[in-house]
Amino acid sequence: MYGVKLDDVKVNGKSTGVCDQGTECLVTFDSGTSLMSVPSFAEEVLSKQGIPTSDSPVKCSGSGDFGDLTFVIGGKDYTISNSEWMFKDKSSSFAQT
């Protein structure tokens, strides 16, 4: 595993501000898991914006409610479609990443 500096994280084309928190903003690529995890400060930023995380599921009406997830690395956008980063919570109708 290794970390790569992020310039920004966007949801549905809009900056989440995760990388503006005064801490180093990194993404770590780990081929040993199919899930994404974020540090606690990022989870707080995302959940305050109504963006679901594994610790903060959000009620939704459909799989496309949140749009694409984009990591900006070195000024270039790397986008993951909604269907690739969202999944339905197995115990309810909540969405989480």
| Whole-prediction pTM | 0.78
Report the side by side order of strands in the sheet with 58-59.
58-59, 94-96, 87-88
Q: Which domains does the chain have, with CATH numbers?
A: 2-96 (2.40.70.10)
Residue 92: which residues within 8 A CB-CB, separation 6 or more? 57
Indicate the pLDDT class of residue 90, thresholds 50, 70 and 90.
low
- Rg for the chain (alpha carbons), in Å? 13
Query: How confident is residue 78, by pLDDT bands cut at 50, 70 and 90?
Result: very high
Q: How far apart (Å, rounded) are the C-alpha atoms in residues 18 and 90?
A: 27
- Please give the Cα distance from 57 to 17 (Å, whole number): 19
Q: What is the mean pLDDT of the chain?
A: 81
